[in-house]
Every structure is written in structure tokens, then in C-alpha cells.
């Protein structure tokens, strides 16, 4: 590795060494550092600033509403009911612990025969009769009665106990459990009898979808996933002198996709019925069921993302029919954000078993539409120049529904809860306070839990009536431990895109001890992937915002921005870079930095760096190669490329055969000879998101162009390095920019 006190062209001057050692006193004592090592103290403080959310005590375990009585249970991490379960009555606006924390520990100690510590977050579920909760401690499951307040151990084979394990799915009313294995699936009834079992192989597996059970528990849906025709990338274990190689399936741009076949298990008989599809390459998701369980609802997205079908499948016969088709010829219907989580919000069955809600951007904004199961459009339910992100719930009578939307003027990314009518009409806001709201509705939809925060306001937990009038705050985050880090929220930033008209939103992070008379080097922490936003609108924010804040505490001004091409606003806003990924994003970021610096003399735009990982790594490279006079230093972690994973690239670029010029224009390798500033690359050898070959090809192109760069390889690490490699990587980023951009002047 290059020493901190060396750089291209020789050693640092005495003046720069003095600058490096000045101003290093920070309100943080290094842990594990040599006494008197000011640089290590700075790195430790920066790392503590990256991990500042871990100092917040908050009630993060999702609350569980009881089926009746407008009551719910939550696990509390704050006073006065810290580390126990609390029962809240929304109607009476009261809360009380099921038992105090000392009694909980005492009962568990008796059952274990030794003292037991409960964890910070305690996932739990309700018993099938809703008379108690079930939780797990050290691999053992227990029931806590809501009335008798007694803790009783449950058998290890109990279906409800097994449902606490990740990927296992409990049937409605708890009559059976679907157990996910490494490659196979089995169904076990309440008596512990295995009703069905399928054992797969490494390249032909059985997988449970999230909504596997039919509403009455009669059928279970299971995917059969076949990767035998998929391209494979090598993962090399360098831990011993005799290297071991494993191969991971990875569908690159233009190569075959995994094939999926939906199967249905009739639980009573154990019979498995296949629902075979055709040979068309596409992506499939089980979106849910009709309320009577007569049909499963499957979403099918074409490989290029231009066509989305809703298909209804009869679980008894495997026969299917197309209900509706959403199609775009000039752009995409769904991309990676859809594949990751958007599909689960796409369709909402209504209780009448005759209609469903459908999400569409057909009028230029994401809105809700009412359909029947013949595929007939009944009406558009929401309208306006704003996006609806999700349907949060539907009333039992199906006359009212609730959505999460960004409909407030001047706050295009904040998410609020709104009440809407199945007859159409204007939305009524029922959440209060700025920022990001996450509702959990009661079964009756008369109340909802609203966990919300903004950049300035730590998370609070309210109980809100469906008309938006009655609020009862039952918990709030405890942020007192942040005082030692001098945490302050970032400064909001509104600028114009490179087109001179489109407003863009971002934030600026600054050192806690900013001296506005000095000039600070600047870093652009970038992601810019066309399927997510990274600017924080909640208190904790995003990974990029945490990285930005930590870098700022070393003496930098750091920007985080959502440029054109990112989601969350209009369809036109995101389509700016359709087929042109890599061509519009950096100009927007450069324009934003120049506008920010024009009114902030403490920003030194002669010393600007750029940093990002994954798609951010691709764009960090992009900035160094397409704006080499502006960005003087860049650090690209695990960078992707347009030739990598198909689902990441093809829906946003079109197929390679149909858009070869767009793919060529977005290639970083082709621009290797443009590099001027200091560049460093990082990649883990076991990365199966952005394969190691992207960095190897980029390195090869730089070598051929005679451009010098630094490279950090993390053996055995995946796309996101784990400790201690993660700290090593982050410290390497910090050292790199201290070396290349220097100190405030």
C-alpha cells in the first residue's frame, strides 16, 4: 500500500505534513490506537461518525396488531419500558408492559437454568389464537401469554416456533409450516408429520415465495428454479496454497436467464401440481392470491422490462390465463427496483374477490387503478403530478384505501400517508409532520401505527386514527448518545440539473467544527443507479449519507445528490437516461457542485474528489473519465459495468443487440486514456453482484493506456465487505482522500 505521507511525485512537503497534523484534536479517543497517534484518532472518529446510528435506541421491531380490539404489541428499546413487550390500546390511548424487563429475564433464567440476556431487537409473532406472542431466545421458542403473563417453552417442532426462522412460512391459522432448506422444501403439519418434501440440487432448487400460502392454507406455491443454462463466474478461495474454485450462476447482459416454474402443493394430500410456462425469457414473481384462494396471481416481466403481465393460475390444475398487460415500447415498465421490491406493491386484491388495485405510470406518474379479474379497467383512482409509492391498506368493506405518496408541494421525496376512496377523488393526508412515514394499519383500518422521522427529527412512533385527527405518541428514539459525536443533520441543497431547468435535490455534509473562513476540499459521494435514491429524507438516511457524514468529519465538504434518471418522481424524470446510462448523470453532479460552491466560499472546487461503491463505483470511474479536469481524485468500490448482471442493465438500456451504441457510449474501459487524476479501485474476490472481472477489465484498460492507478483487492469478500475488511476498506477511502485532496486551508 502507498503510505499516507507519500503521493504521486514524491513525499509530502513539510508544510503539508504540518497541515496534516494540525487540528487533529477531536471529541473522540481512539480505541485500539497507539497513544498519541493523531491520525488514528481521526480515523476512529470518522468511523464512529459512520456508525452513529448504532448509538440510537429505537423501537425497530414491527408492531403486531391483534385481530380484534384495536390493540397491538411492540418490543420496546426505550424507557420507561425498555427491553420488554408493551401492549397498546389505540382506542383508549394507553400502553402497559406485558411484564417488566426484570420479570421477563427472571422467567427466562428459570427456564434456562442460568442468567439470560435478551437481544436488542426481538422479532416475535402472535399465537394462532392471538392470546399470546411467540419469540425465540438462543434458538429456543417461548410463548408469553397476554393475560397470564407467563413464559412457557414451545416444542422445537411446533409450526409457530419454526416460523420464527428466516424463510420458513406458517400457514394461515397455524395448521402447518413450510420449511425452506438449502435446495429443497418440505411441509410439516401441526402434529409434526411431513406432508410433502422435495430435495433439489445446486442448480435446480425449490424456493418458497413470500406469499406462498393460499388464504385458507389449502395450497402452497413453490418455485422450481433452474440455473443449469446460466453463465457462471469463478469464486476463488485463496485461503490456502491449494486454491479452491466454486462457480456461481450469474446472468450477464445478453446471456441466458434462470428459468422458473411455479408448482402448487395440495397440503391435504401432498400432491404437487406444476404450472408450466413457455420458453420465453422473463422474470416471474408470485404477487399474492385472490381472497377465496381460487387463483394465484403471478407477475411476469419481459427480459427488456418493457412488458408486464398479470397472470392468474388455478392451483388445482396449473392452468393459467392472462388478466392484463402493461406495456411500453419507448421505455421500461419495470427495472431492478421493481425486481427487488416493487413487484410486491404492484397488485392489491380487494376483499370482494372481484376487483384489485393496480399500479401504473401510464399517465406519467405512478398511480392506482381499479380493475376486475376479467382485466377490465374500472377507473383510475388517484391522479396528480406526484407519485404513489404503495397501497398501505384497504378497509374491510373495500370502500376506502390508504396509500403512501409524495404529494406535498416542495417536498417531492417525502412520503406521507393518505386516505382515498374506491370511487376516486382527491387524497386526504392523514399523517402529520415532515419526512418519511411508514404506516402499519390495524385490521379494521380505523387506526394505524406511524413510525416517522425527518432529517432534523429522530424517529417517533404515533398511533393515528384513519381520519388523521387523533394521535397518541407511544415511543420515540433516544439520541442522547449522539452528543459525543457532535452530530448535526446535513444542509439541504436545491440546484438545477445540467439542462438548466430541472430541479435536483441533495444535501451537504460538513465537519462538526467547520470554519467558514477556510477552504475545504470537496467530495461527491455518488450512487446514481437508475433504480434507487440516496439523498436522506429520514433522520438516519442511507448508506451513502453515512459515508458522506463520516468523510466530512475528516475535513471535507461532501455532497449527496439524486440526479436525473433516478426513481421516485415522474416517469419522464427517470427516463432521461433510458438507453443512455452513463451519459447524463455526471454532468448533473458537476453542475450541482458548481452551483453549491458559487454561494459557499468555503468549498474549494479546485480540489474535488468522487467516491462510490457498486453503481457508485461505476459512476466514480465515470466522473474521473468524463470530467477529468473537474474531479482530481476518485475511489471506486466494487464498480459495476453495463455488461454485467442482466436485470440491472437490460431494462434500463434495452437489449444489447438493440442498443449497441448506447452500451458502447456507457463503457468506462473505452475511456481509460482520459484519466488525469488519482484513481483507486477496490473489489472483493467473492463478489457475486458486480463480478471481479469488471475491475480486472478496467485495470487492463488503464494499463494499456499507460494510466497509473491504485488497486485494493479484498480476498474472500463479497459485494459489501464484512468486518474487519469493511473497516479496512473505509479507512483506505479516508486515507486516500486525505492524501490526494489534503486539508482545509
- Is residue 36 over pLDDT 80? no
Q: CA 360 → CA 326, 352, 533, distances in Å?
A: 8, 22, 20
Rounded Cα gap, residues 612 and 621, in angstroms:
9
Q: CA 476 → CA 80, 253, 611, distances in Å?
A: 11, 46, 34
In this prediction, residue 634 carries a pLDDT of 98
> Which residues, 6+ apart, have CB-to-CB distance to 440 below 8 Å?
62, 63, 65, 448, 449, 451
- Is residue 13 over pLDDT 80? no
Place of cell 438516511: 541
Tell me the HSE value of 513 on the side-chain side, using a 13 A CA sphere: 10
Mean pLDDT of 172-187: 92
Please indicate whether residue 332 or residue 276 has the higher confidence score (pLDDT): 332
Mean pLDDT of 494-499: 98
How many percent of the chain have pLDDT more than 90?
89
- Is residue 9 over pLDDT 60? no
Q: Which range is least confidently modeled, 20-29, 190-199, 474-483, 562-571?
A: 20-29
CB-based contact 714:680 (threshold 8 Å): no
pLDDT digits (tens, 9 = 90+) for 593-640: 999 999 999 999 999 999 999 999 999 999 999 999 999 999 999 999
- Is residue 692 over pLDDT 80? yes
C-alpha cell at 743: 486539508
CB-based burial label for 584 (10 Å; 0-12, 13-18, 19+): middle
pLDDT digits (tens, 9 = 90+) for 299-312: 999 999 999 999 99
* Beta-bridge partners for 275: 262
CB-based contact 479:488 (threshold 8 Å): no
Helix, coil or strand: residue 679: strand
Q: Where are the alpha helices (DSSP H) in 249-368?
A: 336-340
- Is residue 157 over pLDDT 90? no
Rounded Cα gap, residues 692 and 392, in angstroms:
40
Tell me the HSE value of 613 on the side-chain side, using a 13 A CA sphere: 20
CB-based contact 267:195 (threshold 8 Å): yes
> Cα 270 vs. chain centroid, distance in angstroms?
36
In this prediction, residue 81 carries a pLDDT of 94
Residue 673 DSSP class: G
In this prediction, residue 511 carries a pLDDT of 98
Place of cell 439541504: 492
CB-based contact 69:87 (threshold 8 Å): no
Mean pLDDT of 475-500: 97
- Is residue 274 over pLDDT 60? yes
CB environment 88-108: b (16+ within 10 A), e (fewer): bbbeeeebebbbeeeebbebb
Does the pTM surpass 0.85? The reply is: yes
Mean pLDDT of 359-364: 97
Sheet (strand 347-349) strand order: 347-349, 355-360, 367-372, 377-380
Mean pLDDT of 697-711: 98
Q: Which run of H or of E encompasses 507?
A: strand 503-509
In this prediction, residue 292 carries a pLDDT of 97
- Is residue 495 over pLDDT 80? yes
Q: CA 530 → CA 332, 344, 478, 651, distances in Å?
A: 12, 19, 35, 10
Rounded Cα gap, residues 486 and 478, in angstroms:
15
In this prediction, residue 515 carries a pLDDT of 97
C-alpha cell at 315: 392451483
In this prediction, residue 11 carries a pLDDT of 30
Rounded Cα gap, residues 738 and 727, in angstroms:
16
> Cα 98 vs. chain centroid, distance in angstroms?
33
CB-based contact 214:179 (threshold 8 Å): no
pLDDT band at 126 (very low <50, low <70, confident <90, very high): very high
In this prediction, residue 4 carries a pLDDT of 29
Place of cell 453482484: 689
* Beta-bridge partners for 177: 170, 188
Helix, coil or strand: residue 627: coil
pLDDT digits (tens, 9 = 90+) for 440-482: 999 999 999 999 999 999 999 999 999 988 889 999 999 999 9
pLDDT digits (tens, 9 = 90+) for 221-273: 999 999 999 999 999 999 999 999 999 999 999 999 999 999 999 998 999 99
How many percent of the chain have pLDDT more than 70?
95
Rounded Cα gap, residues 363 and 589, in angstroms:
29
* Beta-bridge partners for 272: 265
In this prediction, residue 174 carries a pLDDT of 83
> Which residues, 6+ apart, have CB-to-CB distance to 727 below 8 Å?
47
Query: Across the chain, what does the average pLDDT equal?
Result: 93
Instruction: Return the ∠ at Cα 471 (arms to 466 and 124), rounded to 5°.
Output: 80
Q: Which range is least confidently modeled, 29-33, 666-670, 741-745?
A: 29-33
In this prediction, residue 112 carries a pLDDT of 96
* Cα-only R_g, the chain: 27
In this prediction, residue 192 carries a pLDDT of 84
Q: Which range is least confidently modeled, 48-52, 57-61, 512-516, 687-691?
A: 57-61
Mean pLDDT of 148-173: 92
Three-state secondary structure string covering 174-233: HCEEEEECCCCEEEEECCCCEEEEECCECCEEEECCCCCECCCCCEEEEEEEECCCCCEE
pLDDT digits (tens, 9 = 90+) for 49-97: 999 999 999 998 889 999 999 999 999 999 999 999 999 999 999 999 9
Residue 252 DSSP class: B
> Which residues, 6+ apart, have CB-to-CB distance to 150 below 8 Å?
107, 144
CB-based contact 301:338 (threshold 8 Å): yes
pLDDT digits (tens, 9 = 90+) for 520-552: 999 999 999 899 999 999 999 999 999 999 999
- Is residue 21 over pLDDT 80? no
pLDDT band at 34 (very low <50, low <70, confident <90, very high): low
pLDDT band at 35 (very low <50, low <70, confident <90, very high): low
In this prediction, residue 297 carries a pLDDT of 98
- Is residue 3 over pLDDT 90? no
Amino acid at each position: 500500500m502507498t503510505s499516507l505521507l507519500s503521493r504521486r511525485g514524491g513525499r509530502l512537503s513539510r508544510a503539508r505534513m504540518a497541515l496534516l497534523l494540525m487540528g487533529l484534536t477531536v471529541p473522540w479517543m481512539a480505541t485500539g490506537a497507539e497513544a498519541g497517534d493523531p491520525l488514528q484518532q481521526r480515523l476512529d472518529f470518522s468511523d464512529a461518525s459512520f456508525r452513529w446510528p448504532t448509538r440510537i435506541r429505537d423501537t425497530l421491531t414491527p408492531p403486531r396488531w391483534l385481530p380484534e380490539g384495536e390493540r397491538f404489541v411492540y418490543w420496546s428499546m426505550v424507557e420507561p419500558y425498555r427491553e420488554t413487550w408493551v401492549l397498546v390500546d389505540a382506542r383508549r390511548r394507553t400502553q402497559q408492559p406485558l411484564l417488566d424487563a426484570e420479570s421477563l429475564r427472571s422467567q427466562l433464567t428459570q427456564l434456562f437454568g442460568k442468567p439470560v440476556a435478551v437481544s436488542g431487537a426481538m422479532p416475535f409473532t402472535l399465537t394462532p389464537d392471538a392470546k399470546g406472542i411467540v419469540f425465540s431466545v438462543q434458538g429456543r421458542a417461548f410463548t408469553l401469554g397476554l393475560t397470564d403473563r407467563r413464559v412457557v417453552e414451545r416444542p422445537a417442532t411446533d409450526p409457530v416456533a419454526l416460523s420464527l426462522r428466516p424463510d420458513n412460512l406458517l400457514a394461515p391459522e397455524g395448521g402447518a409450516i413450510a420449511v425452506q432448506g438449502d435446495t429443497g422444501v418440505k411441509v410439516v403439519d401441526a402434529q409434526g408429520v411431513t406432508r410433502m418434501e422435495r430435495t433439489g440440487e445446486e442448480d435446480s432448487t425449490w424456493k418458497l415465495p413470500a406469499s406462498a400460502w393460499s388464504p385458507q392454507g389449502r395450497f402452497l406455491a413453490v418455485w422450481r428454479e433452474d440455473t443449469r443454462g446460466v453463465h457462471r463466474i469463478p469464486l476463488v478461495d485463496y485461503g490456502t496454497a491449494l486454491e479452491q474454485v466454486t462457480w456461481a450462476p450469474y446472468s450477464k447482459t445478453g446471456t441466458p436467464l434462470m428459468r422458473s416454474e411455479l408448482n402448487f402443493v395440495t397440503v391435504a394430500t401432498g400432491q404437487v401440481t406444476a404450472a408450466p410456462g413457455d420458453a420465453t425469457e422473463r422474470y416471474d414473481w408470485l404477487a399474492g392470491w385472490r381472497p377465496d384462494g381460487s387463483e394465484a396471481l403471478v407477475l411476469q416481466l419481459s427480459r427488456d422490462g418493457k412488458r408486464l403481465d398479470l397472470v392468474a393460475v388455478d392451483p388445482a390444475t396449473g392452468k393459467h390465463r392472462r388478466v392484463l398487460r402493461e406495456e411500453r415500447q419507448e421505455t421500461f415498465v419495470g427495472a431492478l427496483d421493481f425486481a427487488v421490491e416493487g413487484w410486491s406493491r404492484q397488485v392489491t386484491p380487494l376483499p370482494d374477490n372481484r376487483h384489485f388495485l393496480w399500479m401504473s405510470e401510464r399517465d406519467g406518474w405512478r398511480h392506482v387503478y381499479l380493475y376486475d379479474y376479467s382485466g377490465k379497467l374500472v377507473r383510475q383512482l388517484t391522479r396528480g403530478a406526484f407519485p404513489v409509492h404503495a397501497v398501505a391498506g384497504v378497509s374491510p368493506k373495500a370502500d376506502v384505501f390508504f396509500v403512501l405518496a409524495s404529494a406535498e408541494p416542495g417536498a417531492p421525496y417525502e412520503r406521507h400517508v393518505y386516505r382515498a376512496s374506491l370511487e376516486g377523488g382527491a387524497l386526504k393526508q392523514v399523517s402529520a409532520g415532515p419526512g418519511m412515514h411508514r404506516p402499519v394499519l390495524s385490521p379494521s383500518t380505523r387506526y394505524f401505527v406511524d413510525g416517522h422521522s425527518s432529517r432534523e427529527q429522530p424517529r417517533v412512533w404515533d398511533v393515528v386514527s384513519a381520519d388523521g385527527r387523533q394521535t397518541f405518541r407511544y415511543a420515540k428514539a433516544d439520541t442522547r448518545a449522539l452528543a459525543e459525536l457532535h452530530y448535526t443533520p446535513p444542509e439541504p441543497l436545491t440546484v438545477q440539473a445540467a439542462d438548466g431547468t430541472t430541479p435536483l435535490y441533495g444535501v451537504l455534509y460538513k465537519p462538526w467544527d467547520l470554519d467558514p473562513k477556510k477552504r475545504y476540499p470537496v467530495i461527491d459521494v455518488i450512487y446514481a443507479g437508475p433504480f434507487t435514491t440516496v439523498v436522506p429524507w429520514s433522520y438516519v438516511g442511507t448508506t451513502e449519507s453515512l459515508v458522506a457524514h463520516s468523510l466530512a468529519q475528516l475535513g471535507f465538504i461532501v455532497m449527496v445528490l439524486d440526479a436525473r434518471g433516478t426513481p421516485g418522481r415522474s416517469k419522464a424524470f427517470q427516463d432521461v437516461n433510458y438507453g443512455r446510462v452513463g451519459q447524463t448523470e455526471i454532468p448533473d453532479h458537476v453542475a450541482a457542485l458548481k452551483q453549491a460552491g458559487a454561494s459557499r466560499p468555503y468549498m474549494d472546487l479546485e480540489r474535488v474528489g468522487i467516491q462510490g461503491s457498486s453503481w457508485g463505483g461505476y459512476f466514480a470511474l465515470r466522473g474521473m473519465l468524463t470530467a477529468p479536469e473537474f474531479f482530481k481524485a476518485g475511489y471506486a468500490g466494487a464498480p459495476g459495468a453495463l455488461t454485467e448482471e442482466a436485470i440491472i442493465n437490460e431494462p434500463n438500456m434495452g437489449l444489447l443487440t438493440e442498443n449497441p451504441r448506447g452500451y458502447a457510449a456507457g463503457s468506462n474501459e473505452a475511456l481509460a486514456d482520459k484519466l488525469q487524476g488519482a484513481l483507486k479501485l477496490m473489489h472483493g474476490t467473492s463478489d457475486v453482484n458486480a463480478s471481479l472481472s469488471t475491475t480486472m477489465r478496467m485495470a487492463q484498460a488503464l494499463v494499456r493506456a499507460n494510466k497509473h492507478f491504485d488497486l485494493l483487492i479484498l480476498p474472500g469478500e463479497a459485494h459489501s465487505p464484512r468486518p474487519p475488511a469493511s473497516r479496512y476498506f473505509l479507512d483506505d477511502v479516508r486515507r486516500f482522500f486525505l492524501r490526494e485532496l489534503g486539508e482545509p486551508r
